[in-house]
Structure 1
Amino acid sequence: MTRIATAKAASSTAIRAFALAAGLVAATILAMPPTAFGASRIKDIADYEGVRDNLLVGYGLVVGLSGTGDDLTNAPFTKESLVAMLERLGVNIREQGGAIATVKPKNVAAVMVTATLPAFARQGTRVDVSVSAMGDSKSLMGGTLLVTPLVGADGEIYAVAQGGLAGVGIVATGGGGGGAGGSTTVQKGVPTGGKIANGAIVERELPFEMAHLEAVKLSLRNPDFTTANRTAQAVNAFLGSNVARPTDPSTVQIMVPPEYRGNVVGLLTDIEQLRVEPDQMAKIVIDEATGTIVMGENVRISTVAIAQGQLTIRITETPQVSQPSPFSTTGDTTVVNRTDIQIDEGQQNKLSVVPHGVTLQELVNGLNNLGIGPRDLISILHAIKASGALQADIEVM
């Protein structure tokens, strides 16, 4: 009896110890910042204030075209640019009295050049540029962009572009048979635009020093109160202090801790790998032009009955050949159209009930059971929203 009592006491102690350990584990899990299996890294949902690209634009000339350049009569800006460029190079094509001589080259085109200046781009760094025709040039294939300064929004020159165009579309034309409808045209891509890989050299740097910042701001790409608060909680849990706080739905301000002073890059490297569960509002996005419907996960609907039906008239013409009887001296062979008319009044469509609080999958299944297409589904969603049964915003693109 003593051994049995001792065994029972030991077993009870072990159970209490196990329960205590399980409680400690549960408390630790509850104290951790909220995460989920589908959580995203901070670097994928937020940008750092000050770390951004800048847009550049310039005007230039493309030469070396195979007779597909601008018509200088229709594009006077191309002619003026050509004359100005030649004069800068020491070539004078003006007649006595200052009038411009008659020039009609077919291998020159005026273009707009655009590029993106990355953050922290240093002098000598190369960036890609895009070239687009401005005049009536038919194609930029085989052309070379001459030296073109690229300016920013402040009017300062930050890069200079030049080089041969690549990736220009292909156009093939041909005629056949001598008839008016015998011409054939094959076009692939857009021949009046192209790109130059590493076609611009950075000449001016944007001054921005982040190593000694005292505070860093995160800008959420999809502003949301809950996401901003969760991001601040994740950063504070990682650093062990309340240095992060959301200032608005799109901004989280982080004070640089003493151990990261002078090493803001190291701080951002550690923070951007933290995972946060982004929250999103219930929204339905509709593109009526293409009939595209995108529903968010949190879309909910109250109990509502839906019926959809429309009158469809289908007319089919089937041509048949009518011939006279064999050895008949009268009658001609003619083509007779046989017309078949079918009317669908939507009698098979019944009233369907969508229950309260269904999930997105259940909502989609219920609407699909009505046997309707995307166009009719758009009308139904608008009607449900108008009735007040749809707990989501509808955004029409």
Structure 2
Amino acid sequence: MLFQSSTLRIFATLLIGVVVASLASNGVAETRLRNICRLKGQEENTLQGLGLVVGLNGTGEANDRTTMDAIARVLELLGSPVGARAHMDPAAIDELKKIKNAALVIVTARVPGTGARSGEQLDCMVSALNGKSIYGGQLVFAALRGPNPQDLQIYALASGSINVEDSDVPTVGRVHNGCQMQADVRTPFYLERDGAKYITLVLDRNHASFHTAANVASSIREDYSGYYGDGMRLTQNGQTMENQFVRAVDATNIEVRIPAAYSDEPVQFAYEVLEKVISEEDAEARVVINKRTGTVVISGDARIGDVVVVHNNIVVEAGIAVEFTALADSESANPSLERLVQQLSALKVTDAEIIEIIQRINVAGKLHAKLIVE
């Protein structure tokens, strides 16, 4: 039988209404700018290079020329005549094939967005290019360069004991504080142009939208307009134009000119801007689905249009005019979630079925929200 009962139809309609209708009250949420954006230039940088791991219990491999060259180079640096002879005598380097306690690895270290200074120590990841396992091994040496292949400068040296964190993946490990910086990596947070200094706020991917960018620019303009004179300035050809000290470049970037009063204190200005509290009213409606965990997260005013969905023994009917009212705050600390759980319990609808129904509504073009499937 396709329809179990009219009662089931009503419950299903309420259920999907709760899932895709607006669950939030009409209150305006607030947050600090630093929670939703970063300063351009403050990005992570990756350092990487080839390294040699030794001390393996027969799980290494040295039967390729690259690994043998690496072993020979390390022996040469340690003053061994075997290493020096291997570079001149091909037969000598072939002797290194018998080594089973060494492996060639790629070493990677991430420099935080705030940069790093010479002498600072960072964790580094070690990934084997050959061999069966690097468990119990020692990273002897690795010279790390920056992400630009044209930049030959060595920014860090890495060595130390390897900790294999996942026994199911014995070819990947971590060296705690094994990467020591040899040069400064600076991440400037402002740029100079036409005699002025500028910072650029970059909205996080999940917060980027034209609405949010315009809202941030408007808020900064309102708070700092007094620092920029009468709002007019002369161009090079003598014409006047509006002084656009802050502008939303696109849905992600907001450019702000540092006021003259903060010219010698750009850090203070950046700090004050990032500490600003802005409203998140009328945020973009989104429905985020994680199929693996069966989680559905709804934000903003997510609604559905006029649609009928038939799925297994469930019929979902919804119209544009349908609205659902959340329970009052006095009834529950989290009324929307509680109401949704109660509907699920009454219908015995699985998470997978709920997700499938929402996706079908989206395919039909009746989900008035951005659907994100993880």
The normalised TM-score by structure 1 is 0.67
Structure-2 residue corresponding to 1:252: 254
Instruction: From 70, 74, 80, give the equivalent of 2:60.
Output: 70
Maintained 8 Å contact 2:262/2:269: yes
Does the C-alpha gap of structure 1 residues 359 and 217 become closer, same or farther in structure 2, counting only changes over 3 Å? farther
The aligned runs of 1:72-221 (5 Å cut-off) are 72-73=62-63, 75-93=64-82, 94=85, 98-99=90-91, 100-103=93-96, 104-118=98-112, 119-141=114-136, 143-155=137-149, 156-169=152-165, 188=167, 190-206=169-185, 213=192, 214-221=197-204
Structure 1 counterpart of 2:369: 392
Q: Does 1:295 align with 2:298?
A: yes
Q: Which amino acid letter does the alignment assign opposite residue 258 of structure 1? A: A
1:263 aligns with 2:265: yes
Give the 3 Å change call, closer, same or farther, for CA 252–212 of structure 1 in structure 2.
closer
Kept in 2: contact 1:161–1:200 (CA 8 A): yes
Of Structure 1 and Structure 2, the greater helix share is in 2
Contact 1:131 1:194 in 2 (8 A): yes
1:26-37 mapped onto 2 (5 Å cutoff)? none
Report the residue type matching 1:85 in the other structure. V
Equivalent position SS for 2:288: strand
Whole-angstrom distance in 2 between the partners of 1:359 and 1:113? 55
Return closer, same or farther for 1:209/1:72 CA change in 2, 3 Å cut-off.
closer
Residues 196 and 37 of structure 1: CA distance in aligned 2, closer, same or farther (over 3 Å)? farther
Deviation of the 1:57 alpha carbon: 0.8
CA distance in 2, matches of 1:244, 1:84: 55
How many angstroms apart in 2 are the aligned matches of 1:302 and 1:367?
21
1:47 and 2:47 matched: no
Call closer, same or farther: CA 1:90–1:235 in 2, change over 3 Å. Answer: same
Query: Whole-Å Cα distance in 2 between the matches of residues 228 and 216 of structure 1?
Result: 15
Query: Gaps spanning 5+ residues in structure 1: where?
Result: 1-35, 171-187, 310-345
Unmatched runs of 5 consecutive residues or more in structure 2: 1-26, 229-244, 327-335
Q: Does the CA contact (< 8 Å) of 2:157 and 2:179 recur in 1?
A: yes
What SS does the corresponding residue of 2:71 show, helix, strand or coil? helix
User: How far 1:139 sits from its partner (Å)?
Assistant: 3.4
> Structure 1 CA distance, aligned partners of 2:323 and 2:155?
57
Whole-Å separation in 1 of the counterparts to 2:153 and 2:43 = 18
**Deviation (angstroms), 1:133:** 1.7
Change (3 A) 1:201 1:352: closer
One-letter identity of the residue aligned with 2:276 = L
User: How far, CA to CA, are the matches of 1:189 and 1:288 in structure 2?
Assistant: 24
Amino acid of the residue matched to residue 90 of structure 2? G
Alignment of 1:229 with 2:214, yes or no, is yes
Is the partner of 1:102 in helix, strand or coil? helix
| Equivalent position to 2:223, from 231, 235, 238 | 238
The DSSP-based 3-state class of the residue aligned with 1:380 is helix
- State the SS of the aligned residue for 1:219: strand
How far has the Cα of 1:154 moved from its partner? Answer: 1.9
Kept in 2, the 8 Å contact 1:299–1:359? The answer is no
Structure 1 residues 146-179: Cα deviation after superposition (integer angstroms, max 9, x where no partner): 2211111223334333332253247xxxxxxxxx
Whole-angstrom distance in 2 between the partners of 1:43 and 1:352: 41
Cα distance in 2, alignment partners of residues 97 and 78 from structure 1: 16
8 Å contact from structure 2 (residues 134, 173) kept in 1: no
Checking the alignment, whether the CA contact within 8 Å between 1:212 and 1:263 is kept in structure 2 is no
What is the CA deviation profile of residues 286-335 of structure 1, one whole-angstrom value per residue up to 9, with x for unaligned ones? 344554433333211134444432xxxxxxxxxxxxxxxxxxxxxxxxxx
Taking structure 2 as the reference length, the TM-score comes to 0.70
| Structure 2 counterpart SS, 1:70 | coil
**Higher normalized contact order (CA 8 Å, seq sep 6+, divided by chain length):** 2
- Judge conservation of contact 1:223–1:250 (CA < 8 Å) in 2: yes
SS in 2 for 1:248: coil
Distance 2:138 2:161 in 1: 6
CA deviation after TM superposition for structure 1 residue 60, in Å = 0.4
Pair 247,374 (structure 1): closer, same or farther in 2 beyond 3 Å: same
RMSD: 3.1
CA distance in 2, matches of 1:230, 1:97: 69
* Pair member with larger Rg: 1
Q: Which amino acid aligns with 1:216?
A: I
How many residues align? The count is 303
* 1:190-231 CA-partner distances (Å, limit 9, x unpaired): 433222222222222346655784111111113211111221
